[in-house]
């Protein structure tokens, strides 16, 4: 609801003692939870603000968006334009990282209302003398404002216009009313009055609405997850130096972020064996998420991986390949973690005094102790956990993947992320919370930059369309940034288990084009690892011989590897701005439920990408499209031909109108088409297998 505010008036113009503001402001968007939580934007983005603005009677109203970086005293303002039906829209650009804020101000447009009535009177042939007298007074008031502000030139122009109107008022119909009308209705005078005219009481929206501005990596990037201990040769425990040697391989596939599971010392008490066995055999390396041993805790490096200096060298080497290193933040401890002895009060205890290990019935994690975020010494615990993140940020890490944040206190995350971003405004936090939607969305609200999604379990056309319409529509899209993963060390979906190599291609194409941010767990993904652990039960999504519990050896040069296709897809993503955002995602109809069709575009439609992907890894599929031509920037095309260029195969096709036939096979289950309006027919020989 709007409220009159003289302090608001002082921000955007001179104030005077007036009655309460008459303008009403309502329905402001975007707004998340009444301004309790911030919307998210990237540096350089425009923030588009809309509001209902109106007043009693017939006077016109004007409105502006007020915006500033949080903590600044003065406001900048951007005009709002009427959309019709009392709805207004304005926009401003955010550049610097961190928190900004905005609100809406509105006032009676006295001069605009006067000009509207003057036009009507002139069109009706009525005597405008009194109107000129009133208008002259308004313009003289603006002249005084300009002169008081030291702008003598504007003041002089305004006074000249006022004199012209007063002269017409005195002379009446026989005088130079035409000259006065021309001056009064001129766009130039309108601009001067917008700058200096008296706005009276200004209504200001009651809330300051926050915006968090992140760097571009928060919206766009390709992630590659890798277990460092599996990069050694012939099954020997790998090191961080071995990872450095592997960087050219990862970089050649076009990844932006190298994500490492926990690299800390691993506990020995209750260590898990291969395939999650409760008993470890001699030589079993345990789960990296069982953090802490006598060698150290969350700020130490596992001795078998190397040293902190080796880690620093990896960060530098990755940067040399255009990549960032992301670390896993898993706030839990093995029974051998130094904190168990140093701070036993940080852990929840059973009635018999022993510490409670982690459980998610029926699953048991005997090798992990959860932390008690509500313990009596919670402040010290929270500070210690924050300091863990700051420690690694101080060593050049600006990207963090957070393990199971929904099982930790949300007030902690809101506080800790704000603390870290105060020192490192470019820090990015990826939430790994496969839980209820409202919980996932709230984690985004309290500060997480990105989130895993249900994409892994959305495999039918209906499931995919419904899921992504939700993610890309307000209010979810204002705070929730999706990061799509077709597989993770924890999740090998049945689609990948049973669909063969084409299934991996399909899920790659979907993840990389539906989402501006996506990731794969490799080398398992590019090598199409599909073996599931049957002993885990029917419907198991656990990998057989999972890297979570043992060292694996990978044949990176295997001829069936998808690495060349992945490299091409990532190059396409980098070359096309349309694929670097999610807010322009639009689905198009196809008369085959096993084919999905969607587009993305740059905001100005300078780059438009249309994707057509089969959802069937076993059979050839054909269908007719029914394209939304306006979404492709082709609404004026009519039946004229236009070119679609398949960026995967380099084939070029000429289409007409909305209906065109598409055919897909398991060997080539998708197209990534760049749309070019009005192109002539041209075609190169297509490579019908992507991997040659």
C-alpha closest to that of 292 among 332, 327, 329, 322: 332
Can you read off the two tokens belonging to residue 361?
A: 């019935």
Give the DSSP letter of residue 314: H
Q: For this structure, is 403 an active site residue?
A: yes
- Start-to-end CA distance of the chain, whole Å, equals 62
Can you read off the two tokens belonging to residue 380?
A: 């010290």
Q: For this structure, is 432 an active site residue?
A: yes
| 8 Å CB contact between 331 and 299 | no
Handedness of CA 488, 262, 581, 446 (dihedral sign): positive
C-alpha closest to that of 434 among 410, 455, 420: 455
Task: Kindly give, in sequence order, each residue whose CB lies less than 8 Å from that of residue 340, ignoring residues fewer than 6 positions away.
Answer: 292, 333, 347, 355, 369
| 8 Å CB contact between 336 and 292 | yes
Q: Which residue has the tokens 């050649």?
A: 252
Q: Which residue has the tokens 């989402």?
A: 515
Task: Indicate which residue of 432, 478, 616, 646 is catalytic.
Answer: 432
Give the DSSP letter of residue 32: B
Pairing relation of β-strands 257-260 and 221-225? parallel
Distance CA 296, CA 366 (A): 20
Task: Indicate which residue of 403, 541, 542, 547 is catalytic.
Answer: 403
Give the DSSP letter of residue 127: -
Buried b (16+ CB within 10 A) or exposed e, 202-227: bbbbebebbbbbbbebbbbbbbbbbb
Distance CA 334, CA 94 (A): 44
Q: Mind giving me the DSSP string for 243-302? A: HHHHHHHHHHTT-SEEEE---S-B--TT---GGG-SSPPTT----TTSB-BTTBSTTS--
CB atoms within 10 A of CB 69: 16
Q: Which long-range contacts (CB under 8 A, 24 or more apart) does 230-234 make?
A: 230/547, 230/551, 230/552, 230/553, 230/554, 232/551, 233/553, 234/553
Q: Could you tell me how far CA 70 lies from the centroid of its own chain? A: 20
Give me the phi and psi of 453, to 5 degrees please.
-135, -175
Can you read off the two tokens belonging to residue 452?
A: 């895993």
Give me the phi and psi of 97, to 5 degrees please.
-70, 155
Q: Which residue has the tokens 């959860």?
A: 370
Judge if the upstream peptide bond of residue 446 is cis by omega within 30 degrees of 0.
Answer: no
| Catalytic residue IDs | 403, 432
């Amino acid at each position: 609801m709007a409220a009159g505010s003289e302090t608001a008036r002082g921000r955007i113009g001179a104030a005077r003692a007036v009655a309460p503001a008459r303008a009403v402001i309502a329905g402001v968007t975007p707004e998340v939870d009444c301004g309790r939580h911030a919307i998210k934007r990237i540096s350089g983005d425009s923030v588009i603000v809309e509001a209902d603005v109106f007043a009693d009677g017939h006077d016109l109203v004007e409105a502006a968006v007020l915006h500033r970086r949080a903590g600044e005293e003065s406001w900048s303002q951007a005009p709002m334009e009427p959309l019709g039906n009392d709805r207004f829209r304005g926009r401003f650009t955010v550049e610097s990282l961190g928190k900004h804020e905005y609100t809406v101000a509105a006032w009676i447009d006295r001069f605009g209302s006067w000009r509207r009535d003057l036009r009507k009177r002139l069109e009706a042939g009525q005597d405008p003398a009194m109107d000129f007298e009133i208008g002259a007074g308004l313009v003289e008031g603006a002249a005084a404002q300009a002169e008081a502000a030291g702008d003598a030139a504007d003041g002089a122009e305004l006074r000249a216009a006022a004199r012209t109107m007063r002269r017409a008022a005195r002379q009446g119909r026989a005088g130079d009313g035409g000259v006065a009308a021309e001056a009064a209705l001129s766009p130039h005078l309108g601009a001067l009055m917008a700058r200096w005219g008296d706005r009276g009481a200004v209504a200001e929206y009651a809330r300051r609405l926050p915006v968090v501005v992140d760097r571009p990596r928060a919206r766009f990037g390709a992630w590659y997850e890798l277990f460092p201990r599996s990069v050694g040769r012939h099954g020997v425990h790998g090191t961080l130096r071995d990872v450095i040697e592997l960087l050219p391989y990862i970089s050649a596939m076009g990844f932006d972020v190298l994500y490492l599971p926990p690299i800390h010392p691993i506990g020995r008490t209750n260590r898990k064996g291969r395939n999650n066995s409760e008993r470890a055999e001699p030589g079993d390396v345990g789960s990296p998420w069982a953090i802490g041993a006598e060698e150290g805790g969350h700020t130490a490096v596992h001795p078998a991986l190397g040293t902190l200096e080796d880690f620093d060298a990896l960060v530098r080497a990755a940067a040399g390949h255009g990549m960032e290193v992301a670390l896993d933040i898993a706030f839990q401890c093995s029974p051998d973690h130094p904190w168990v002895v140093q701070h036993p009060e940080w852990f929840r205890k059973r009635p018999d005094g022993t510490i409670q290990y982690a459980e998610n019935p029926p699953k048991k994690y005997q090798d992990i102790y959860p932390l008690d975020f509500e313990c009596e010494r919670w402040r010290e615990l929270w500070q210690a956990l924050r300091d863990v993140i700051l420690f690694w940020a101080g060593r050049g890490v600006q990207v963090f993947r957070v393990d199971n944040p929904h099982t930790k206190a949300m007030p902690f995350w809101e506080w800790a992320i704000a603390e870290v971003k105060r020192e490192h405004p470019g820090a990015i936090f990826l939430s790994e919370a496969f839980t209820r939607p409202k919980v996932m969305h709230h984690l985004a609200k309290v500060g997480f930059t990105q989130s895993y999604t249900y994409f892994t379990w959305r495999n039918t056309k209906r499931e995919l369309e419904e899921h992504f319409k939700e993610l890309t529509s307000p209010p979810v899209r204002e705070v929730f940034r999706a990061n799509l993963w077709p597989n993770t060390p924890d999740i090998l979906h049945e689609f990948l288990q049973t669909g063969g190599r084409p299934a991996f291609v399909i899920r790659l194409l979907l993840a990389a084009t539906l989402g501006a941010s996506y990731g794969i767990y490799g080398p398992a993904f590019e090598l199409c690892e599909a073996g599931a652990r049957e002993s885990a039960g029917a419907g198991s999504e656990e990998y057989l011989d999972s890297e979570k519990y043992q060292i694996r050896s990978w044949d990176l040069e295997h001829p069936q590897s998808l690495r060349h296709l992945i490299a091409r897809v990532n190059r396409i993503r980098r070359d096309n701005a349309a694929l670097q955002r999610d807010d322009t995602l639009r689905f198009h109809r196809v008369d085959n439920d096993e084919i999905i069709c969607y587009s993305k575009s740059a905001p100005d439609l300078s780059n438009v990408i249309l994707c057509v992907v089969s959802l069937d890894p076993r059979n050839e599929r054909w269908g007719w499209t029914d394209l939304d031509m306006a979404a492709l920037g082709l609404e004026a095309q009519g039946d004229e031909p236009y070119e679609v260029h398949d960026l995967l195969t380099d084939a070029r096709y000429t289409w007409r109108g909305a209906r065109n036939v598409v055919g897909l096979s398991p060997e080539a289950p998708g197209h990534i088409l760049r749309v070019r309006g009005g192109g002539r027919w041209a075609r190169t020989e297509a490579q019908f297998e992507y991997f040659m």
